[in-house]
Amino acid sequence: MDLKTYIATAPRGTASKLATALGISPSYLSQLASGLSSISPERCVAIERETFRAVTRKDMRPSDWRLIWPELETPRTAEAA
């Protein structure tokens, strides 16, 4: 799930609590969720942790997560190769 959807569907106050846990302002969290500010790889890891994997690093960086976190790639099986 993307960060914007997570915030929109979470119980009231979740965004504020998430911002506090991340050490950022709620307005900056809103900018991250809306795409106005890019989410750094380090912050992606923190968001994934604080949302209990409801929002994953793959969700936040769909175009380059494989370059940043190659260990997240599902290994190909011998049958699939």
Per-residue model confidence (pLDDT) at position 74:
82
Is residue 35's pLDDT more than 80?
Answer: yes
Give me the percent of the chain exceeding a pLDDT of 90: 89
Q: What is the mean pLDDT of residues 22-48?
A: 97
Sorting pLDDT into bands at 50, 70 and 90, what band is 80?
low
Whole-model pTM: value is 0.87
The more confidently predicted of residues 30 and 78 is 30
Q: What CATH number was assigned to the domain covering residues 3-72?
A: 1.10.260
DSSP state of 12: T
Q: Compute the distance between CA of residue 40 and CA of residue 10 in angstroms, rounded to an integer.
A: 23
Q: Compute the distance between CA of residue 71 and CA of residue 50 in angstroms, rounded to an integer.
A: 20
Give the model confidence (pLDDT) of 57-66 as tens digits: 999 999 999 9
Q: Domain boundaries in the chain?
A: 3-72
